[in-house]
């Protein structure tokens, strides 16, 4: 069912119609870094880490994680998602859900699929409503709920939501914070970042391997293994991230030719430069 829901997010159309051609599709829990696992099949140390735990993974993940690349659904950007709807319907049928009279219902009980999407920023309303429109085309009854920050925090802490918009804060290199984000113990603890509430002993082990890595090569391999395993778990609908800093500044500054890897470095490594006469105060 989680995999089927991913097919309703039409990134190509959203990027054109909502985001003005900006942003990049998220294909990893550690995007825009060396830790992305979605670019090919696992090799070397990453493959070893996964192979050591293959017999304890859920069958649907163990069958594909070593031999298939993670590919997110795509569209032609026209707003036509019929092909994705067909793929989603096939997955729903495997999970016991069928379309009757234009509604997606449980084949045994007849209960229609319905849920609420909670979000906290008014800026996300267009994104949420666009997704809801696609869900409705698939026969799913979805509502949007804009809440204020205190209510959002409380409901997140109590896992009181069906679906939620959620921005991850990634630290580089990933370390101790992975425990609060993905370990089973964090799934039931107020204030932790394990929003999906996932509890998986293999995931627990992968987190510890990543935290304990004693070299950069081991860290990259371990986090890629973790990323790949999480992506195959389908615990979220990957949306978008910003891989560019867009800033406006008065041309009285200079900066290093080689920028920082994960930041603009302002103001700590920028400096005032008087070499540009047009940038002097009298010529603003």
Q: Are residues 237 and 259 in the same domain?
A: no
- Bridge pairing between strands 97-100 and 114-119: unpaired
Gap between the Cα atoms of 194 and 221, Å rounded = 22
Q: Are residues 61 and 82 in the same domain?
A: yes
Q: From first to last of the 284 residues of the chain, give the pLDDT tens digit.
A: 999 999 999 999 999 999 999 999 999 999 888 998 878 899 999 999 999 999 999 999 999 999 999 889 999 999 999 999 999 999 999 999 999 999 999 999 999 999 999 999 999 999 999 999 999 999 999 999 999 999 999 999 888 999 999 888 777 888 899 998 999 998 878 878 888 889 999 999 999 999 999 999 999 999 999 999 999 999 999 999 988 888 887 777 888 888 877 778 888 888 887 776 666 566 55
Q: Are residues 237 and 109 in the same domain?
A: yes
Q: Are residues 131 and 269 in the same domain?
A: no
Which residues pair with residue 141 across a beta bridge? 114
Count of domains observed in the chain: 2
Residue 9's contacts (CB-CB under 8 Å, 6 or more residues apart) are 73, 131, 134, 237, 238, 239
Gap between the Cα atoms of 25 and 174, Å rounded = 21
Gap between the Cα atoms of 50 and 43, Å rounded = 10
Q: Are residues 185 and 278 in the same domain?
A: no
Q: Are residues 233 and 264 in the same domain?
A: no
CB 104 within 8 Å of CB 112: yes
Domain ends where: 211, 226, 241?
241
Q: Are residues 103 and 54 in the same domain?
A: yes
Alpha carbon distances (Å) from 83 to 69, 73, 74, 201: 20, 10, 9, 36
* Omega within 30 of 0 (cis) for the link into 127: no
Q: From the CA atom positions of the chain, what is the Rg in Å?
A: 22
The pLDDT tens digits for 253-272 are 888 888 877 778 888 888 88
Q: Are residues 155 and 275 in the same domain?
A: no
Give the domain range for residue 274: 248-284
Q: Are residues 170 and 284 in the same domain?
A: no
Which two tokens mark 32?
A: 């825009």
Q: Are residues 76 and 196 in the same domain?
A: yes
Q: Are residues 170 and 273 in the same domain?
A: no
pTM over 0.75: yes
Instruction: Give the phi and the psi of residue 153 in degrees, each rounded to 5.
Output: -60, -45
Q: Are residues 217 and 254 in the same domain?
A: no
**Conformation bin of residue 20: beta by default, left when phi > 0, alpha when psi is -120 to 50:** left
Sign of the CA dihedral with 155 first, then 156, 157, and 162 last: positive
Reported as half-sphere exposure (CB side, CA atoms, 13 A), residue 245 has a value of 11
How many residues does this entry show for the chain?
284
Gap between the Cα atoms of 54 and 63, Å rounded = 9
Identify the three-state secondary structure at position 12.
Answer: helix
The pLDDT tens digits for 5-22 are 999 999 999 999 999 999
CATH number at residue 196: 3.10.105.10
């Amino acid at each position: 069912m989680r995999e089927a829901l991913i097919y309703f997010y039409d990134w190509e159309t959203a990027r054109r119609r909502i985001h003005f051609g900006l942003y990049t599709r998220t294909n990893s829990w550690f995007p825009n870094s060396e830790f992305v696992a979605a670019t090919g099949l696992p090799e070397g140390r990453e493959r070893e880490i996964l192979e050591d735990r293959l017999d304890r993974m859920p069958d649907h993940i163990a069958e594909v994680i070593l031999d298939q690349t993670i590919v997110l659904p795509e569209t032609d950007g026209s707003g036509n998602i019929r092909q994705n709807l067909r793929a989603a319907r096939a997955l729903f049928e495997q999970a016991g859900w069928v379309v009757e009279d234009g509604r997606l219902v449980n084949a045994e009980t007849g209960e229609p699929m319905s849920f609420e999407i909670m979000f906290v920023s008014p800026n996300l309303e267009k994104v949420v409503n666009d997704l809801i429109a696609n869900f409705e085309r698939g026969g799913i009854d979805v509502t949007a709920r804009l809440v204020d920050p205190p209510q959002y925090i409380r409901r997140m802490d109590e896992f009181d939501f069906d679906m939620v918009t959620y921005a991850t804060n990634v630290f580089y290199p990933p370390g101790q914070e992975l425990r609060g984000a993905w370990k089973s113990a964090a799934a039931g603890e107020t204030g932790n970042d394990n929003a999906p509430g996932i509890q998986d002993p293999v995931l627990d082990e992968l987190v510890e391997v990543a935290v304990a890595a004693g070299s950069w090569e081991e860290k990259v391999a371990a986090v890629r293994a973790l990323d790949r395993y999480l992506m195959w778990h389908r615990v979220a609908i990957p949306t978008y991230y910003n891989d560019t800093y867009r800033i406006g500044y008065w041309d009285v500054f200079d900066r290093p030719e080689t920028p920082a890897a994960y930041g603009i470095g302002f103001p700590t490594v920028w400096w005032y430069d008087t070499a540009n006469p047009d940038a002097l105060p009298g010529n603003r």
